[in-house]
C-alpha cells in the first residue's frame, strides 16, 4: 500500500477540483445561460444597439463617432482631421473614438497640457460655431471618460444648430426640432444627466426627406 | 428638474433600495452560513471534489484551504492568460508578457482587479469569462467565508473549529452570488449592456470612417465585477464605457450592486451573534463614513477646483455626459470605500481634493462598507481596537461580544492594521526613490506623486482603481504592485483567521455593569474616532505631499 499524500498536497488537489467545478458552473454555464436569454429577449441591445442607415450598419447608438472631413492625405498620421460643419460634433475624445481603444486623457486638474487643450478647444469651437468663446459649454471642452461618449449637453447641441442648418440649407427650426427629438432625459426622470444623442441625431439629419 | 434635486433623489433612491435589502439579504446570508442542510446540487459538488460537507475545520486547516485555493487559482489563471492564443474565442489578441500575466492573475485572485492591460486589446472572451469572471465570483466568496469564520469565533465557545472553507465557498457562490448575478445580468442586458460572443464588427460611419464595434459576454461579467466588489472592466474604460454602463438607470443599478452585500453583512453579523443591535452599530459607522465621503466628494467636484477645470467651467474631464457630476461622484465614493475599483469616471482628472478623497477612502482600509467580507472583517478588527482603547481608559480587561481581548488577540489585530500601511508607504517610497519608476508618472509635481501613492494604496487595499495616467505595465510596477496585492490580501486573512481560532477557544465571559456596551451611540462615536485617528496618523504625511499640497497651492 502506498503512503497517503501529505495533507498540504491533498488540500491543493481539493482546491484544484473545486476550481474546475466552479469554472464550469460560473465561467461557462452561467455566461452561456445569460447570453441565451439575452439573445432571445433583447437581442438588439445584447448585440450592441446597432444603428442602420439604408440597410447598412453605420455604428452603435451607444458609441460616439467622429464627424470629420476626409483628410487631404489619408496616410498622413500627422495631419489633424478637421470637423465637418454639416454634422453635429461630439465631445473631445482621448483616443479619437476608436472602438477598440476606449479610455480617458487622465490629465490632472492642474495639468498645463489640459489647460492648453481646454483653451485651444474653446477658441476653435467658438470660431467653428460662430459664437462667443465664453458661452461654449464645458462638455465641448473636456474629453469624456470612455472616449466613446455618444452624448453632448443640450447647450452644446443648441450652439451647433445654426451652423448645421446653414451648411445643409435647412431651416434652423427643423434642425432645432430634431435636437429636441434626440434629447434623452434622465432615466426615470432623475437618474444621471440629460444629453443629446449625437449618433442618432446625425443619422436623422442624413435621412432622406 | 434641477440637477441638484435630481442628484439628491438619486442618492436617496440608492439608500432606500439598500435599506430595503438590509434585513432580508442579511438574514439570508446568516442562514446560509449557519444551516446544516445542503442543497442537492451542493451534495453533488462535495462528492466530485471529495469533501465531507459536515466536517468543520480548525482555523489552521481553514487557512490552509484558503491559501491552497488562492495558489491554485493564481497558477490556473496565469496559465489561461498565457495560453489563450491556443484556445477558443481568443480574438487574436497578442501573447501577454509574463510579468503582466502574473500581475493580472494575482490581481483577480486577490479581489483587486488592478489592470495594467486594456481589456479590449489584451483579453479574449474565454480568458474573460472562464478566467477573470470566475475569480470575480470566487474571490468574493473567499472574503465572505473569512468573515464567516471570524464571526463563528465570536459565537462558538471552547472549540477549535471555525467552519468548513469548501462548504462556505460553494454555498456563497451557489446560493448567493450566482442567483443575484443571473437576475441582474438580465437587468443590465435589458438596459443596453452587450451580451454576445462577437469579435470586433467593422462598420463604415456616416462620415465615411471605419469604426470597430466591440463584442463580448459583458453583462454577465459586469454584474459579478460589481456584486463581488472586484472592479475589473471588460473594457479599458471600465464602467464609463457605454457598453458596460449605458444609462443613468444602469449606473444606479451598478452602484447598488457594489454596495448591497457589504451593507447587508452587518445584519448577517448581528443575526449570527444573536443581537441585531450589534449589526446596527457597525452599520451606523459604515453609513456615517459613506454619507460624509459622498457628500464631500460631490461638493469638491461641483466646485471644480484646479486651473484646467476652472478654465473649462466644470469638472467634466474624464466624466460622461449621461452621468454628469452627481452620478459620477456617487459611483466614485462607493467604489473606493469598498474594494471595488470599478470607475464610471476617471479619478486622475478629479479635482485635487476630490481625487485626494478617493485615495483617503481606500486608506480607511475599505471598511465603509468595504469589500464583500473584507469590509466587515476589517471593521470588526477596528472594533476590537476600539474596545481595547476603551478598556485602557478605564483600566479593565477589554471584552467584545463576550470574548476577552487578551495579548494574543490584540497582537493579531495590530498586525492586521499595520500590514496595508506598511505595503503602501514602503512601496510608494521605493518607487519615488527610483528615477525610472518616477518617470512612469503622466502628470508632474504633487499630482504625479499622487499617481504613485494612489497605485500602491489601491493595490495594497485590493481596490484596483487608479490615477490612470501612470504607466504601470513595466517589469518593476507589475512585480511590485503584484506583491502589494497578494500580501495586502493574504496577510490580513492570516491574522483574521488566527484571531477567529483564538476567540473560538475561549470560554465566554458574562456581561457585567462595567462592560462597554457595543451597540450604543457611544460606541459608534468611539469606533469612528479610532478609525479616523489610526488612518490620519498613518497617512497624513503622504497625503500632505500629494493631494493636500496640490489642493492648497
Reported ipTM: 0.96
Return the axis-axis angle of helices A30-41 and B178-190, rounded to nearest 10°. 30
List of chain B residues whose C-beta atoms are within 8 Å of the C-beta of residue A200: none
Q: Which of B174, B312, B550 sits opposite A141 (nearest CB)?
A: B312
Tell if the CB–CB gap between B320 and A104 is shorter than 8 Å. Answer: no
| pLDDT given for residue A24 in this prediction | 98
The helix or strand, by DSSP H or E, that contains position A104, with its residue range, turns out to be none
Mind listing the pLDDT tens digit of every residue in chain B (553 residues)? Answer: 788 999 999 999 999 999 999 999 999 999 999 999 999 999 999 999 999 999 999 999 999 999 999 999 999 999 999 999 999 899 999 999 999 999 999 999 999 999 999 999 999 999 999 999 999 999 999 999 999 999 999 999 999 999 999 999 999 999 999 999 999 999 999 999 999 999 999 999 999 999 999 999 999 999 999 999 999 999 999 999 999 999 999 999 999 999 999 999 999 999 999 999 999 999 999 999 999 999 999 999 999 999 999 999 999 999 999 999 999 999 999 999 999 999 999 999 999 999 999 999 999 999 999 999 999 999 999 999 999 999 999 888 899 999 999 999 999 999 999 999 999 999 999 999 999 888 889 999 999 999 999 999 999 999 999 999 999 999 999 999 999 999 999 999 999 999 999 999 999 999 888 889 999 999 999 999 999 999 888 999 999 999 999 999 8
Tell if the CB–CB gap between A18 and B468 is shorter than 8 Å. Answer: no
Q: Which three cell numbers stand for residue B380?
A: 470588526
Give me Rg for the CA atoms of chain A: 24
Q: Map B218-252 to HEC letters.
A: HHHHHHHHHHCCCCCCCCCCHHHCCCCCCCHHHHH
Chosen for mutation from A19, A109, A114 (greatest number of chain B CBs closer than 10 Å) is A109
Q: A105 at the B interface (CB within 8 A)?
A: yes
Model-level pTM?
Answer: 0.97
| pLDDT given for residue B536 in this prediction | 84
Q: A143 at the B interface (CB within 8 A)?
A: yes
- Nearest Cα neighbor of B32 from B313, B254, B261 is B261
Return the axis-axis angle of helices B521-543 and B407-433, rounded to nearest 10°. 30
Tell me the shortest Cα–Cα distance from B521 to chain A, in angstroms: 34
Pairing mode of beta strands A195-197, B57-58: unpaired
How long, in residues, is chain B?
A: 553
Give me Rg for the CA atoms of chain B: 23
Q: B449 at the A interface (CB within 8 A)?
A: no
Q: Which three cell numbers stand for residue A90?
A: 461630439
| pLDDT given for residue B281 in this prediction | 98
Tell me the shortest Cα–Cα distance from A178 to chain B, in angstroms: 17
Enumerate residues 6+ apart whose C-beta is below 8 A from A165.
Answer: A171, A172, A174, A175
List of chain A residues whose C-beta atoms are within 8 Å of the C-beta of residue B468: 103-104, 106
Q: B88 at the A interface (CB within 8 A)?
A: no
Chain A residue with the nearest C-alpha to that of B117: A101
DSSP B320-350: -TTTHHHHHHHHHHHHHHTT----SS-GGGS
| pLDDT given for residue A105 in this prediction | 96
Pairing mode of beta strands B201-204, B210-213: antiparallel
- Nearest Cα neighbor of B459 from B492, B424, B416 is B424
What CA–CA distance (Å, rounded) separates B470 from B457? 14
The domain ranges of chain A are: 7-44, 56-206
| pLDDT given for residue B74 in this prediction | 98
| Cα atoms found within 13 Å of the Cα of residue B435, Cβ hemisphere only | 0
Location of C-alpha cell 468543520: B56
DSSP B347-401: GGGS-HHHHHHHHHHHHTTSTTTTSTTHHHHHHHHHHHHHHHHHHHHHTS--EET
| pLDDT given for residue A208 in this prediction | 58
List of chain B residues whose C-beta atoms are within 8 Å of the C-beta of residue A28: 129-130
CA B237 vs. chain centroid, Å, equals 18
Q: A85 at the B interface (CB within 8 A)?
A: no
Enumerate residues 6+ apart whose C-beta is below 8 A from B422.
Answer: none
What CA–CA distance (Å, rounded) separates B259 from B334? 7
Tell if the CB–CB gap between A106 and B468 is shorter than 8 Å. Answer: yes
Question: Cα separations (Å) of B265 from B74, B377, B379, B522?
Answer: 27, 10, 11, 22
Q: A155 at the B interface (CB within 8 A)?
A: no
Question: Which residues of chain A have a pLDDT value below 50?
Answer: none
List of chain B residues whose C-beta atoms are within 8 Å of the C-beta of residue A122: 311
Q: B57 at the A interface (CB within 8 A)?
A: no
- Nearest Cα neighbor of A22 from B321, B140, B447, B243 is B140
Q: Which three cell numbers stand for residue B178?
A: 450566482
Amino acid at each position: 500500500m502506498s503512503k497517503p499524500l501529505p495533507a498540504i498536497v491533498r488540500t491543493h488537489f481539493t482546491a484544484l477540483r473545486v476550481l474546475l467545478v466552479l469554472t464550469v458552473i460560473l465561467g461557462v454555464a452561467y455566461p452561456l445561460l445569460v447570453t441565451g436569454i439575452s439573445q432571445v429577449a433583447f437581442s438588439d441591445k445584447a448585440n450592441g444597439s446597432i444603428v442602420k442607415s439604408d440597410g447598412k450598419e453605420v455604428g452603435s447608438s451607444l458609441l460616439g463617432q467622429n464627424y470629420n472631413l476626409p483628410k487631404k492625405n489619408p496616410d498622413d498620421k500627422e495631419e489633424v482631421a478637421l470637423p465637418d460643419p454639416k454634422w453635429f460634433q461630439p465631445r473631445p475624445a482621448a483616443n479619437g473614438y476608436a472602438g477598440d481603444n476606449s479610455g480617458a486623457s487622465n490629465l490632472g486638474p492642474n495639468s498645463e497640457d489640459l489647460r492648453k487643450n481646454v483653451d485651444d478647444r474653446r477658441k476653435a469651437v467658438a470660431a467653428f460655431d460662430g459664437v462667443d468663446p465664453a458661452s461654449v459649454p464645458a462638455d465641448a471642452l473636456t474629453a469624456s471618460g470612455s472616449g466613446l461618449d455618444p452624448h453632448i449637453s443640450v447647450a452644446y447641441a443648441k450652439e451647433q444648430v445654426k451652423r448645421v442648418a446653414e451648411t445643409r440649407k435647412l431651416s434652423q427650426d427643423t434642425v432645432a426640432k430634431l435636437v429636441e427629438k434626440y434629447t434623452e432625459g434622465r432615466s426615470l426622470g432623475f437618474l444621471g444627466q440629460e444629453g443629446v444623442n449625437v449618433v442618432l441625431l446625425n443619422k436623422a439629419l442624413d435621412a432622406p426627406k | 428638474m434641477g440637477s441638484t434635486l435630481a442628484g439628491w433623489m438619486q442618492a436617496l433612491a440608492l439608500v432606500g433600495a439598500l435599506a430595503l435589502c438590509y434585513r432580508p439579504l442579511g438574514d439570508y446570508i446568516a442562514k446560509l452560513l449557519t444551516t446544516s442542510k445542503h442543497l442537492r446540487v451542493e451534495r453533488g459538488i462535495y462528492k466530485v471534489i471529495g469533501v465531507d460537507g459536515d466536517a468543520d475545520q480548525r482555523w489552521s486547516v481553514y487557512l490552509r484551504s484558503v491559501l491552497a485555493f488562492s495558489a491554485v487559482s493564481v497558477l490556473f489563471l496565469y496559465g489561461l492568460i498565457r495560453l489563450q492564443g491556443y484556445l477558443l474565442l481568443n480574438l487574436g489578441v497578442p501573447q501577454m508578457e509574463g510579468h503582466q500575466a502574473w500581475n493580472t492573475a494575482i490581481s483577480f485572485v486577490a479581489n483587486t482587479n488592478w489592470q495594467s492591460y486594456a481589456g479590449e486589446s489584451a483579453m479574449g472572451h474565454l480568458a474573460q469569462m472562464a478566467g477573470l469572471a470566475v475569480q470575480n465570483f470566487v474571490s468574493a466568496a473567499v472574503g465572505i467565508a473569512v468573515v464567516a469564520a471570524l464571526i463563528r469565533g465570536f459565537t462558538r465557545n471552547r472549540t477549535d473549529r471555525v467552519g468548513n472553507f469548501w462548504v462556505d465557498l460553494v454555498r456563497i457562490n451557489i446560493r448567493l452570488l450566482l442567483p443575484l448575478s443571473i437576475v441582474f445580468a438580465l437587468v443590465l442586458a435589458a438596459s443596453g449592456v452587450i451580451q454576445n460572443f462577437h469579435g470586433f464588427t467593422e462598420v463604415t460611419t456616416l462620415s465615411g470612417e471605419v469604426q470597430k464595434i466591440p463584442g463580448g459576454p459583458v453583462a454577465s461579467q459586469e454584474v459579478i465585477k460589481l456584486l463581488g466588489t472586484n472592479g475589473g472592466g471588460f473594457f479599458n474604460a471600465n464602467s464609463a464605457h457605454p457598453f458596460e454602463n449605458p444609462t443613468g438607470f444602469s449606473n444606479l443599478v451598478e452602484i447598488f450592486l457594489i454596495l448591497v452585500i457589504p451593507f447587508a453583512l452587518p445584519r448577517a453579523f448581528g443575526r449570527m451573534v444573536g443581537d441585531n443591535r450589534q449589526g446596527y452599530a457597525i452599520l451606523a459607522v459604515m453609513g456615517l463614513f459613506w454619507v460624509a465621503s459622498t457628500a464631500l466628494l460631490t461638493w469638491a467636484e461641483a466646485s471644480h477646483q484646479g486651473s484646467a477645470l476652472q478654465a473649462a467651467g466644470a469638472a467634466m474631464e474624464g466624466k460622461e455626459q449621461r452621468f454628469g457630476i452627481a452620478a459620477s461622484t456617487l459611483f466614485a465614493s462607493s467604489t473606493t470605500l469598498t474594494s471595488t475599483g470599478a470607475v464610471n469616471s476617471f479619478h486622475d482628472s478629479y479635482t485635487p481634493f476630490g481625487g485626494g478623497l478617493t485615495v483617503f477612502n481606500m486608506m480607511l482600509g475599505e471598511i465603509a462598507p468595504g469589500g464583500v467580507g473584507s469590509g466587515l472583517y476589517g471593521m470588526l478588527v477596528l472594533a476590537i481596537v476600539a474596545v481595547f482603547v476603551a478598556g485602557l481608559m478605564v483600566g479593565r480587561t477589554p471584552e467584545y461580544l463576550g470574548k476577552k481581548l487578551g495579548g494574543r488577540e490584540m497582537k493579531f489585530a495590530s498586525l492586521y492594521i499595520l500590514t496595508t500601511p506598511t505595503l503602501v508607504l514602503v512601496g510608494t517610497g521605493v518607487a519615488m526613490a527610483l528615477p525610472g519608476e518616477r518617470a512612469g508618472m503622466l502628470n508632474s509635481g504633487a499630482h504625479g506623486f499622487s499617481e504613485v501613492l494612489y497605485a500602491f494604496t489601491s493595490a495594497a487595499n485590493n481596490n484596483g482603481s487608479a490615477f490612470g495616467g501612470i504607466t504601470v505595465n513595466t517589469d518593476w510596477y507589475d512585480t511590485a504592485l503584484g506583491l502589494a496585492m497578494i500580501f495586502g490580501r493574504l496577510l490580513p486573512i492570516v491574522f483574521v483567521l488566527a484571531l477567529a481560532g483564538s476567540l473560538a477557544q475561549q470560554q465566554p465571559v458574562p456581561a457585567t455593569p462595567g462592560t462597554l456596551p457595543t451597540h450604543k451611540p457611544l460606541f459608534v462615536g468611539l469606533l469612528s474616532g479610532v478609525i479616523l485617528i489610526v488612518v490620519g496618523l498613518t497617512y497624513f504625511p503622504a497625503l500632505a505631499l500629494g493631494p493636500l499640497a496640490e489642493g492648497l497651492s
